[in-house]
Structure 1
Amino acid sequence: MDSPWLVPVSLAFGILLGAGLVCIIVISAQRGRRAVAVASADVPDGVDEVIEALESAGVVIDPSNNVIRASPGAMALGLVWNQALVHPELVALVDRARRTGQPITEELHLHRGPFGDAQIYLSVRVARLGARYILLLAEDRTESYRLDEVRRDFVANISHELKTPIGAVGLLAEALESASDDPVQVRRFAKRLTTESERLARITQEIIELSRLQAADALHNPDLVDIDHVIASAIDQNRVAADAQAIQLVGGGDKGATVYGDESLLITAVHNLIANAIQYSSGNSRVGVGVTNRDGTVEIAVTDQGVGIPEDELDRVFERFFRVDPARSRHTGGSGLGLSIVKHVVQNHGGDIRVWSQPGYGSTFTIRLPQAAQTGTRVGAQK
């Protein structure tokens, strides 16, 4: 016969065993839920909406460096490919931020995309996002870097261009002093001094003109401009230079075209194109200026029979101080700013300029402007 105290002990033991099993099950379930949460790609609330709304690049990276969220800006910059960061430099920043737990900000110079050669400049900030994720934000500074480079080149080019005539003026002044007793030498040096001073004044004026054209109010009060008068004035300004080289200047095309803008600036633009055509033409050739007026557009084409422009330099002819033939330009006193001024004048009038050229057969520069009669509105300044 069993002892009477064994029944309560067995019952208590069963209760304890059952409670233990329940605890084990609950703990296992909690651990399972935590494991699922750890394995989940869910990011903190609101992050998805922020990433989608970003105009700049935004990327969320998991502990295995897989990209689980990427903004349209990040895709456009080529930072993400196959759910991974393309650039090892970005991966290194992510690893460092994960290891140190501190936000990191750096400027990086990278290739665009996994296969592209284009260069991009980024300001990158990397920081933890919650306990598991890393948030990478990148601002595209490529245009800012490009403008800084253009400014540096512009200053360097100005210094170089001004140094030549300024140096020449100084040397000629010394030569005049030493030749004061020789009237023939004095006249010769004085003529050279006048030429160099005119060149210096021309470069300075063109720099001022180019700066004014880049201002937002370059065309604050446009008027109705007669293109026939613009062409006639520009041709007259170049008549002496053309005759000196036996170059024939010919105007033609549609009459009566009008545009809204600044007459003096348009005359300057056409004048620069004609002067450029004369400069790069050989003697006993021809420079033509034609006007076409149709479909709401006025086209002014300046065609020469000169040396032409190599294909790989066509995209650069409108850059400041760029010269197809530097030796010829320096001999004739060209500053390298003429075509850049033309481009800005045309852009400020709401138009564009195109160039066709073939080495040995000449070039054609075509200005396209909105026709006043059909647009019916004045064209404001464009930067």
Structure 2
Amino acid sequence: MTWLLPRLLMALAAVGLGFVVGVLVRAASGSEALSLGLGVLAGVAALLLVDAVRGNRLLNWLRGNQLDSAPRDTGLWGELGYRVERAMRDRDRALARGRVELDQFLSAIEASPNGVLMLDRQEQIVWCNRAAADHFALDPRRDLQQRITNLVRAPAFVAYLQAGRYAEPLVLGTGRGPGTLSIIVREYGEGMRLVLSLDVTERVRAEAMRRDFVANVSHEIRTPLTVLSGFIETLQALPLTPVERDRMLLLMAQQTQRMQTLVADLLTLAQLEGSPRPAPDRWVALDSLLARVAADAEALSAGRHALRLRPATGVELAGIESELLSAVANLVTNAVRYTPDGGEVELTWRLLEDGSGELAIVDTGLGIAREHIPRLTERFYRVDGSRSRETGGTGLGLSIVKHVMQRHGGELMIQSEVGRGSRFRLVFPAARVRQSGDVALGDEAAFAASAAAQ
């Protein structure tokens, strides 16, 4: 207690001053009582005056902004000023650390893809991050201290928030399109609530696509199986002429082929989705690949269309030959199938300015309405289901093309107009396009050799 000794010394000085004053008064007046009273009064007054001056300095410092140091007096007031200043500095440092930690915590929440809303007891917004503002169409600054139910008026959300039963999350549309939110509320503190939101649009869409996929596969396989089952029962139960039997066997073979094609396409999709991206150093000769596609298309057309499918590109593409062949063949055969007799189908190749390459398949078929184009690459999506089945399509071809192009770093682009035909473009990145060398590689060399021998 360093302040005690100076305090005692100051008290002794006051006593000494009182004694001197008493002696002087007694010598002047001769009154012992008067000298005693004035001596005591002088000592006490001196002590109070010193305390008042030092205490006033400390109070003035406390009333200010405390940026300067506290008064450095000796004794009790100096010690009190030092202790108060140190406590305030410790408090300021603790507050600064708390602010830094809070800012770091809020920054972490801000970076989260989940929405976070903090509500007080009156359901007013205390704080929200950008994800929550986007989910609920809020302004993170302007809407603070606003009642959440005045801003988010979806009846399901208001009922969920006010019911107080938060064991199960609420699934709610965003109100800004087809988006879907999963909302969870947690209580904390005294009547305060935390509203957590997560955009589950992709999850819901994936689940819907999975259900549709299973339903479509079941339907696509059930149809030919039903036909086959009916034919088998007919063959077993009825005496048929050779002509009738041959006709039924032909139809059964067609349905069997349809199921085999469907299963093959499903396996191709599964392989595409589960395989790593093709290496960029395995080159495929485009001209020989297009020759194979053209041969199949000419057999399918049987002279009913004007086909121009053999451009001289002199180009090689980096990728897997079977996948590239599948993508191009799907587009060309679709063009032939959906183009009326007498129509034209053309395949062209061009190098773009940035070094990438574009393979385009153009037909003069019926065309596709604009609202269908964004969904054409979905599995089993058909613009006209009955016509697709008549032409032998499985509804998986364009989905296969899209996956092949994505795996090769390219893009499938579709342009179409009803009554004026369609244009499907395969754009390959520059890293996967080069001019052909002197010798073709792999399977393409064998195909080129057999074609030359013929």
After TM superposition, give the deviation of residue 226 of structure 1 in Å.
1.8
Gaps of 5+ in 1: 1-43, 377-383
The letter of the residue matching 2:332 is I
After TM superposition, give the deviation of residue 218 of structure 1 in Å.
5.8
RMSD between superposed Cα atoms in Å = 2.5
Match among 318, 323, 328 for residue 260 of structure 1: 318
Gaps of 5+ in 2: 1-97, 436-454
Instruction: Specify the alignment match of 1:381 in structure 2.
Output: none
Instruction: Specify the alignment match of 2:170 in structure 1.
Output: 107
- The higher-RCO structure (CA 8 Å, 6+ apart) is 1
User: Does the alignment pair 1:176 with 2:176?
Assistant: no
CA distance in 2: counterparts of 1:127 and 1:136, whole angstroms? 9
CA distance in 2: counterparts of 1:123 and 1:48, whole angstroms? 25
Check 1:71–1:336 CA distance in 2 against 1; reply closer, same or farther (3 A cut).
Answer: same
After TM superposition, give the deviation of residue 93 of structure 1 in Å.
4.3
Question: Where do 1:1-383 residues align within 5 Å?
Answer: 49-54=104-109, 55=112, 56-78=114-136, 80-81=138-139, 82-83=143-144, 84=146, 85=148, 86-88=151-153, 89-97=156-164, 104-112=167-175, 116-128=176-188, 130-131=189-190, 133-179=192-238, 181-217=240-276, 219=278, 223-243=282-302, 246-251=304-309, 255-294=313-352, 295-372=354-431
Q: TM-score, normalised by structure 2?
A: 0.66
Check 1:151–1:260 CA distance in 2 against 1; reply closer, same or farther (3 A cut).
Answer: same
Check 1:95–1:50 CA distance in 2 against 1; reply closer, same or farther (3 A cut).
Answer: farther
The letter of the residue matching 2:371 is D
The letter of the residue matching 1:110 is G
Check 1:261–1:103 CA distance in 2 against 1; reply closer, same or farther (3 A cut).
Answer: same
CA distance in 2: counterparts of 1:340 and 1:374, whole angstroms? 23
CA distance in 2: counterparts of 1:153 and 1:193, whole angstroms? 27
The letter of the residue matching 2:105 is V
Length, aligned pairs only: 324
The letter of the residue matching 1:196 is Q
Is the strand fraction higher in 1 or 2? Answer: 1
CA distance in 1: counterparts of 2:227 and 2:252, whole angstroms? 8
Q: TM-score, normalised by structure 1?
A: 0.78
**Which secondary structure state, in structure 1, belongs to the residue aligned with residue 177 of structure 2?**
coil
Higher mean C-alpha displacement, 288-297 vs 62-71: 62-71
CA distance in 2: counterparts of 1:372 and 1:237, whole angstroms? 29
Contact 2:291 2:310 in 1 (8 A): no
After TM superposition, give the deviation of residue 305 of structure 1 in Å.
0.3
CA distance in 2: counterparts of 1:162 and 1:293, whole angstroms? 42
**Which secondary structure state, in structure 2, belongs to the residue aligned with residue 214 of structure 1?**
helix
Greater radius of gyration (CA): 2
Contact 1:291 1:299 in 2 (8 A): yes
After TM superposition, give the deviation of residue 178 of structure 1 in Å.
3.9
**Which secondary structure state, in structure 1, belongs to the residue aligned with residue 335 of structure 2?**
helix
Contact 2:280 2:432 in 1 (8 A): no
Contact 1:65 1:91 in 2 (8 A): no
CA distance in 2: counterparts of 1:222 and 1:319, whole angstroms? 30
CA distance in 1: counterparts of 2:434 and 2:132, whole angstroms? 40
Contact 2:348 2:361 in 1 (8 A): yes
CA distance in 2: counterparts of 1:375 and 1:63, whole angstroms? 67
CA distance in 1: counterparts of 2:397 and 2:308, whole angstroms? 21
After TM superposition, give the deviation of residue 332 of structure 1 in Å.
1.8
Q: Deviations over 1:58-80 (max 9, x none)?
A: 11112332212111211222353
Q: Deviations over 1:141-195 (max 9, x none)?
A: 2211111110000000001111111111111222233455521111111111111
After TM superposition, give the deviation of residue 230 of structure 1 in Å.
2.2
Higher mean C-alpha displacement, 273-282 vs 78-87: 78-87
User: Quick one: percent identity of the two aligned structures?
Assistant: 28
CA distance in 1: counterparts of 2:124 and 2:286, whole angstroms? 62
